[in-house]
Structure 1
Amino acid sequence: MHIELKRGSSRSLPQQIYEKLGQRISSGLLLPGARLPSVRELALSLKVSQVTVSKAYAELEKKGRILCIQGKGCFVADIEHEGTGEGGGWQGRYDDYLPRAQLWRNFNESEADYSFHLASLHRELLPLRSIGSTMAALVSEQPELMASYGNFQGDLELREVMRRHLQKRGMALASSGLMITSGSQQGIDLVARTFVGPGDVVYLEDPSYTGAIDVFAGRGAEMIFVPMDREGMRVDILTSLCDERPPKLIYTNPTFQNPSGVTMSIRRRQRLLELARSYRCLIVEDDPFSDLYFRDPPPPSIKSMDRDGHVVYLKSFSKVLAPGCRIACVAAEGDILSRLIAAKSASDLGSPLLTQRAVLPFIADSYERYASGLRIALRERMESAGRLLRQYAPSGVRWTLPEGGLNMWLELPAALRIDKLHTLAEQESISFLPGDVCQAGEGNSRHIRLCYAQMNKARMEQGLKLFLELLSRYMASELPDEMIQ
């Protein structure tokens, strides 16, 4: 089992081992019943003392993550049968370099009757028939599209349509400065694979997008999380941190941030760009939700203020049109873009031409009208969810209604165990996203994320009411009366 340890870190080696193993368990990479390496085996593998590994295992057992049986070994908790359990064969001991995979785990909960865990739009909100009709016509009339590799950088006509779309939002770009990717997740991965290596310092918001954390963890980056307030990332704190640990890259989701819903102020966007200039580093601006505002448009993108090529801008289109099409664009300049195109060519030989052509007419001719209607529908869902929270949420639960996007971020009392609440919700076929997966550490978050757009409105209201009633019962059973009045 490969675990990347940082000897110079402020976190002790036992703590690092505990966190890495805990993340693998939470991600489902280590299944219930899987046998862990012996203390001696792991100590030899990691080149640490057996005492160091023993301390990590003891903490995992104390937290209920593993079970150690004298003479048999240590196993991931919830073992149904004694023995080696799942993952005990040769495959379970075949080394990998996955430190965590929370995004995979998140998508794996889609069978719940009431799904609040995934930041996505219900199919009734999406223009699937329009895009599907275009795709069917393309298959019928231009079947040769399925026989062709697309341009590594992406279809030129689609890039021009996207350029015009971004120009309306204040970004002066050339179509040659855009690259089409298979969703913004691929864009994050390409940036990380191209520019981030083991030990490089990457700054992120606290909390941050699960998929980005997974990618940077997989590159062996040293991730440093910067607190947020109502104006977004605390750039003053980031500045003081950068004095000690200069950044290789800063990842931000500044508009209706996932998961918190917070929007970064224009003042902080400007300061963040100034910081990137002074340290000659990249900002990755991930922007899936800026078109989904409920009242006033959000501040201009950081990319719109960038004159020196410090910002790599990611814009997902499939997120709000047809997630199965996996279409996004990356905006960058010069040698940065050239290297990203080279990385993409080695990754997939170019995004599928058929899906690029399928979404092209809708983005060109119908997107703005569609986005306007979508904003109205999402605001109705958000306001309905807010009314239910005011009516049914128990005392001690806090939230701020977002000004756009798909999610609400709830803060629960510190004494509650969110993992236990998650298990209780699963038993009622209700899913939500625990805040821990939006951080790199283990068990520190007091938050959960609920998406109000993943179901139709009536089902969302029914499911949210059931969840809040469950939360009330759980809090009443776990907290003293004075904490819930």
Structure 2
Amino acid sequence: MRFNVHKKSSTPIYQQIYEQIRYRIQTSMIKPGDQLPSLRKLSQELEISLLTVRKSYQLLQKSGLIVIQSGKGAFVKGVTKRSSKVLNNFSWQDELNVNITRSQYSLNRDRKYYDFSQAILFPRLLPNQFLAQEMQSLLRTNELVLATYGPIQGDRELRIELSSYLQREQGIKADPHEIMITSGAQQGIDLIAQTLLKPGDTVIVESPCYGAAIDVFTNKGVNVISIELDEEGIQSDLVEEVCQKIKPSLLYVNPSFQNPTGILMSRQRRKELVDLAELYHFFIVEDDSFGEIYFDDISVPPPIKTFDKNGHVLFLKGFSKTLAPGLRIGLLYAQGSVFDWLYAVKALMDIGSPLLTQKAVLAFLRTERMKQHMEKLRIALQLRRDHASDLLSPLSDYVQFQVPKGGFNLWLKLPQNVNTFALLKKAQEHNVCFLPGEACFVHKPPHAYIRISYSLLSDTDLNIGLQRLNAILSAEI
């Protein structure tokens, strides 16, 4: 059982340990009846005092999460004796010290039919038939595509086409030689972390933030500092305050229709972040997974990368959200020596993304189909956003949310005393699931939040599922 503590963090060490154990219990990474490390063992491993560990355990016991038995140890509440658990041939694994401390995906391992937890598209909104026909055609005309490793950097034709797409749609002048194909934006985040971060480094993230990005950084053993958002995005003045105290290695942002809040970062704020990166010499990881999903004919500011002159911005774009989750196509655009470093790590990671899937999307990007698809997608998702907002509006006395101008999600603020994990269990009993807001924070948030993704279900199921969720919230809050 491994823990990451950062002695220079503003969060006390006992609180860091408490939050990591609490999160693992609530996400079932630690099971009822599991024994926690002894006070002495944990204090030695983390090089902290026994009193600090004891304070963490006392807080966990006070929260009703563990039971401390005199002379025996601390156990996760539910089964108080480890011997009462059924032993099997795999029980030796429980004693190992593994490199995973948190994962948002543990929250909804058992997906429910009315699934609001995943920010992905309803399959029938995607160009499945065209892509399937394209793959069949590729296999008929070139069977050897299955017997060929894709280039580590990615298919050259696809990189050229993506370069044209970025310039045409987002004003980014990207050299194809500086583009790398990834298995979605998520691999890009992990690739950057593998390449640039080591334990003890500092990463700044938005608060709240895309939970899987927090997972990547936390599991790398880095010090993750979160900065609150306002209506214009991450607050650049607070970023500078951190930079004056601690030199960050990375700033991770999701500027266009931020996941989970849907906030659209202003043009001025984007430029200010680049200025700070140049002044304090850190990288900005710009995750642009939702930039084209805008509603109400609003004007989306240009990507942060367009303001970058000296290679401070690492630009990520995923096409899984909008084109084909099953193909897992994304891109990473980086300039300078960092590209060579990323290339070397990518080679160790997978020796290149699958070639067949890269070739399959090529024809779609080369025609007007991509533009037409995005236009239809925006209309369909705007209707879903409006319908979801209307169905949840009767709860406005105790549920607060801003109607987003793009993206896939509604971010709901609930009364402070609500336990979102208990609420999720109640919802699962009615075949409904959502994402508890704690997955999107580095530390326990001061209020209760949940994220509702209106993108995945059919129109009929969206209506039924939201009515069920409405009833659950009305009864439980």
TM-score normalised according to structure 1 size: 0.93
Deviations 1:128-164 (A, max 9, x none): 1211121122233322111111111000000011111
Cα distance change, pair 173–394 in 1 and its aligned pair in 2 (3 A): closer
**Which amino acid in structure 1 is aligned with residue 391 of structure 2?**
L
Q: Which residue of 2 aligns with 1:453?
A: 455
Where does residue 22 of structure 1 map in the other structure? Answer: 22
Q: Distance in 1 between matches of 2:145 and 2:321?
A: 23
Quick one: distance in 1 between partners of 2:165 and 2:260? 25
CA deviations over 1:85-137 (Å, ceiling 9, x no partner): 379921001111212122x3256242x12100111101111111211121122
Q: Distance in 2 between matches of 1:313 and 1:358?
A: 23
How far residue 71 of structure 1 moved from its aligned partner, in angstroms, is: 5.0
Q: Which residue of 1 aligns with 2:409?
A: 407
1:4 aligns with 4
Aligned equivalents of 1:82, 1:155: Cα separation in 2: 52
Kindly indicate whether residue 473 of structure 2 is the aligned counterpart of residue 471 of structure 1. yes
Alignment partner for residue 392 of structure 2, among 379, 389, 393? 389
Change (3 A) 1:443 1:276: closer
Q: Match of 2:229?
A: 228
After superposing the two structures, state which structure 1 stretch, 169-178 or 69-78, moved more: 69-78
Q: 1:71-86 residue pairs with structure 2 within 5 A?
A: 72-79=72-79, 83=83, 85=85
Distance 2:265 2:13 in 1: 35
* CA distance, structure 2, for counterparts of residue 15 and residue 367 of structure 1: 48
Q: In structure 2, how many angstroms separate the alpha carbons of the residues matched to 1:446 and 1:283?
A: 29
- Aligned runs of 1:280-295 on 2, under 5 Å? 280-294=281-295, 295=297
**CA deviation digits over 1:239-270, x for unaligned, max 9?**
22211122211100000000000000001001
Q: Does 1:417 align with 2:422?
A: no
- What are the residue-to-residue correspondences of 1:321-400 with 2, within 5 Å? 321-365=323-367, 366-390=369-393, 392-400=394-402
Q: Quick one: which amino acid aligns to residue 400 of structure 1?
A: Q
Asked if residue 153 in structure 1 is aligned to residue 156 in structure 2, the reply is no
Task: Say which of 433, 436, 439 aligns to 1:434.
Answer: 436
Matches within 5 A, 1:205-224: 205-224=206-225
Post-superposition offset of 1:23 = 2.8
Matches within 5 A, 1:260-275: 260-275=261-276
SS in 2 for 1:448: strand
Q: Pick closer, same or farther for the CA change 1:172–1:443 going to 2, 3 Å.
A: closer
What is the distance in 1 between the residues matched to 2:335 and 2:407? Answer: 28
- For 1:186-205, what aligned pairs fall within 5 Å after superposition? 186-205=187-206
CA distance in 1 between counterparts of 2:115 and 2:223 reads: 33
Q: Cα distance 1:14–1:80, how it changes in 2: closer, same or farther (>3 A)? A: closer
CA contact under 8 A between 1:283 and 1:311: conserved in structure 2?
Answer: yes
User: For 2:284, what is the secondary structure of its paired residue?
Assistant: strand
CA contact (8 A) 1:277 1:310 kept: yes
Work out whether residues 414 and 447 of structure 2, in 8 Å CA contact, stay in contact via their aligned partners in 1: no
Residue 62 (structure 2) aligns with: 62
Distance 1:394-1:37 versus aligned 2 partners, 3 A rule: same
The residue type paired with residue 212 of structure 1 is A
Give the whole-Å Cα distance in 1 for the aligned partners of 2:456 and 2:6.
39
Give, in whole Å, the separation in 2 of the partners of 1:337 and 1:286.
17
DSSP-derived class of the 2:83 partner: coil
**Distance in 2 of aligned mates of 1:330 and 1:107:** 29
Q: How does 1:38-57 map to 2 (within 5 A)?
A: 38-57=38-57
Deviations 1:50-80 (A, max 9, x none): 3322221121122222233445432223339
The AA in structure 2 aligned to 1:238 is: V
Whole-Å Cα distance in 2 between the matches of residues 171 and 413 of structure 1? 42
Number of the residue aligned with 2:144: 144
Distance 2:372 2:328 in 1: 21
Partner of 1:124: 124
- Which stretch of structure 1 is more off in the superposition, 127-136 or 439-448? 439-448
Give the fraction of aligned pairs with identical amino acids, expressed as a percent.
39
Distance in structure 1 (CA, Å) of the matches to 2:388 and 2:398: 18
Residues 411 and 195 of structure 1: CA distance in aligned 2, closer, same or farther (over 3 Å): same
Corresponding pairs, count: 472
Quickly say closer, same or farther: Cα 1:119–1:464, change in 2 above 3 A: same
After TM superposition, give the deviation of residue 466 of structure 1 in Å.
1.2
**More displaced, 165-174 or 53-62?**
53-62
Shift of 1:5: 2.4
Aligned to 1:399, the other structure's residue is in SS state coil
Q: Secondary structure at the match of 2:322?
A: helix
- Which residue does 1:482 correspond to in 2? none
Question: Residue type matched to 1:419 in 2?
Answer: F
Contact 2:416/2:446 (CA < 8 Å) preserved in 1? no
Per the TM alignment, residue 394 of structure 1 is displaced from its structure 2 partner at its CA by 4.9
AA partner of residue 193 (structure 1):
Q
Distance 1:107 1:170 in 2: 38
Residue 66 of structure 2 contacts residue 74 of structure 2 at CA under 8 Å; is this kept in 1?
yes
For 2:32, the equivalent position in structure 1 comes to 32
- CA 1:80–1:372 in 2, change beyond 3 Å: closer, same or farther? farther
CA spacing shift, 1:356–1:404, aligned 2, 3 Å: same
**Aligned residue number for residue 480 of structure 1:** none
Separation (CA, whole Å) in 2 of partners of 1:99 and 1:431: 23
Per-residue CA distance 1:363-397 (angstroms, 9 max, x = gap): 2221111000000000000011111122x325121
1:34·1:86 contact (CA, 8 Å) conserved in 2?
A: no
Amino acid at match of 2:291: S
Secondary structure of the equivalent of 1:284? strand
2:38 maps to a residue whose letter is S
Q: CA RMSD in A?
A: 1.8
| Structure 1 spans left out of the alignment, 5+ residues | 476-485
Aligned equivalents of 1:55 and 1:448: distance in 2? 29
Q: What is the alpha-carbon distance in structure 2 between the residues aligned to residue 179 and residue 462 of structure 1?
A: 42
Q: Could you give the per-residue CA deviations for residues 312-362 of structure 1, whole angstroms, max 9, x where no partner exists?
A: 000001221111111100111121111111110010000000111111111
Q: Distance in 1 between matches of 2:287 and 2:360?
A: 24
- Name the CA distance, whole Å, in 1 between partners of 2:319 and 2:108: 19
